[in-house]
């Protein structure tokens, strides 16, 4: 566990000019309509009734087009109520410059599709299975597929790795939904009594709470959390790290002094956006997903 203050080391890529400066909290997709995301190819991974759910894919440049690359898929936050895949488009497009296939996922939420947290997790699992099923088409290494997200999106990512059920009836269950690594930004870990979202899941919390489903074989995880997060207390992050290590899994926890929930968003704090993406880069480098030092920096106005 590490207490971090943001620094500006080893930055060479002008990210803002490449993908713009989205305010993820302000941009909202229309009801029943997926957002457009510049620079990404769009792939429908699931259809539920008249709802089509898409993945937005940023491909890295390849000298050899047949080479399979590691991938990372991100799920947006919004308390399972709303949100947009644009929240993590900069994370995904940055990773593409580092040789990783960067992906942001849409999934059903309460305000648009009238769903509960259970459907959110179901969609997260479907997305990962679809990516593995289409690994050849997207030139992805299915054994180097990370899942990440923020807040409720971090919950979705963590749940794909931990909870044993909540599979879609249309999913091919022979394809694993468990990612090979987790990239978690103030994730909702605990849905038990006293945890965030318990009123939404009630007695079914053991079906969906990542903290209550950690077992041997969990993928390595990196977690970013502010010390003044009112929704995900530091104690929850420490409990997750402890349980992960007890089952023999790597779990890194980075704490950011006096930062609230959502501190990692560029629109909230460019410095902390930079700091957390830098640590994410280093974590993925340690897993062999990419090589060399981080190459991210912000524009001069931030």
Q: Above 90 in pLDDT, residue 41?
A: yes
Q: Are 77 and 83 in contact (CB under 8 A)?
A: yes
Give residue 207's pLDDT.
Answer: 98
Of the listed ranges 23-32, 50-59, 84-93, 279-288, the least confidently predicted one is: 23-32
Other CB atoms closer than 10 Å to residue 198's CB: what's the count?
15
- CATH 3.40.50.1820 at 2-25+62-297, yes or no: yes
Q: Above 80 in pLDDT, residue 70?
A: yes
C-alpha span between 135 and 117 (Å, rounded): 27
Domain residue spans in the chain? 2-25+62-297
pLDDT category at 11 given cuts 50, 70, 90 is very low
Q: Above 50 in pLDDT, residue 116?
A: yes
pLDDT category at 231 given cuts 50, 70, 90 is very high
Q: Above 70 in pLDDT, residue 23?
A: no
**What would the mean pLDDT of 292-299 be, rounded to a whole number?**
82
pLDDT category at 223 given cuts 50, 70, 90 is very high
Instruction: Name the residue with higher pLDDT: 59 or 300.
Output: 59
Q: Above 60 in pLDDT, residue 55?
A: yes
Give residue 29's pLDDT.
Answer: 43
Distances (CA, A) of 123 to 29, 129, 159, 217, 240: 18, 10, 11, 22, 23
Give residue 301's pLDDT.
Answer: 53
pLDDT category at 35 given cuts 50, 70, 90 is low
Give residue 296's pLDDT.
Answer: 87
Of the listed ranges 6-20, 88-102, 126-140, 163-177, the least confidently predicted one is: 6-20
Give residue 63's pLDDT.
Answer: 81
Other CB atoms closer than 10 Å to residue 265's CB: what's the count?
24
The percent of residues above 90 in pLDDT, for the chain, comes to 81
Other CB atoms closer than 10 Å to residue 150's CB: what's the count?
30
Q: Above 70 in pLDDT, residue 225?
A: yes
Give residue 299's pLDDT.
Answer: 61
Q: Above 50 in pLDDT, residue 185?
A: yes
- At a CB cut-off of 8 Å and minimum separation 6, what does 210 contact? 155, 158, 159, 161, 162, 163, 187, 189, 190, 240
C-alpha span between 51 and 179 (Å, rounded): 25
**What would the mean pLDDT of 202-217 be, rounded to a whole number?**
98
Q: Above 90 in pLDDT, residue 176?
A: yes
Q: Are 272 and 298 in contact (CB under 8 A)?
A: no
Mapped to the 3 state alphabet, what secondary structure does 95-142 carry? HHHCCCEEEEECCCCHHHHCCCHHHHHHHHHHHHHHHHHCHHHHCEEE
Per residue in 42-61, is it b (16+ CB within 10 Å) or e — as a string? ebebbebeeeebbbbbbbbe
Give residue 83's pLDDT.
Answer: 95
Q: Above 50 in pLDDT, residue 27?
A: no
**What pLDDT digit, counting tens, does each position of 246-262 carry?**
999 999 999 999 999 99
Q: Above 50 in pLDDT, residue 26?
A: no
Which two tokens mark 171?
Answer: 């999913």
Q: Above 70 in pLDDT, residue 18?
A: no
């Amino acid at each position: 566990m590490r207490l971090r203050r943001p620094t500006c080391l080893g930055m060479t890529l002008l990210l803002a000019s490449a993908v713009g400066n989205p305010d993820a909290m302000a941009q909202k997709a229309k009801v029943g309509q997926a957002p457009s995301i510049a620079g990404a190819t769009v792939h429908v991974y699931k259809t539920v009734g008249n709802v089509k759910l898409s993945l937005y894919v940023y491909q890295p440049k390849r000298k050899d087009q047949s080479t399979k690359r590691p991938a990372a898929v991100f799920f947006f936050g919004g308390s399972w109520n709303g949100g947009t895949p644009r929240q993590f488009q900069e994370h995904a497009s940055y990773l593409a410059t580092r040789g990783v296939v960067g992906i942001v996922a849409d999934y059903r939420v309460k305000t648009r599709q009238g769903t509960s947290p259970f459907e959110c997790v179901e969609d997260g699992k479907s997305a990962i299975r679809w990516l593995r099923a289409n690994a050849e088409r997207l030139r992805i290494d299915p054994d180097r597929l990370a899942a990440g997200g923020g807040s409720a999106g971090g919950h979705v990512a963590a749940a794909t790795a931990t909870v044993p059920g909540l599979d879609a009836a249309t999913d091919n269950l022979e394809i694993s939904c468990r990612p090979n690594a987790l990239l978690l930004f103030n994730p909702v870990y605990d849905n038990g009594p006293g945890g965030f979202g318990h009123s939404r899941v009630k007695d079914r919390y053991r079906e969906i709470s990542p903290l209550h489903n950690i077992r041997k074989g969990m993928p390595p995880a990196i977690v970013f959390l502010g010390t003044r997060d009112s929704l995900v207390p530091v104690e929850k992050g420490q409990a997750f790290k402890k349980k992960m290590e007890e089952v023999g899994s790597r779990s890194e926890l980075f704490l950011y002094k006096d930062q609230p929930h959502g501190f990692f968003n560029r629109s909230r704090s460019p410095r902390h956006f930079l700091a957390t993406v830098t640590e994410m880069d280093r974590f993925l480098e340690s897993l062999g997903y990419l090589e060399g030092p981080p190459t991210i920096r912000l524009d001069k106005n931030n």
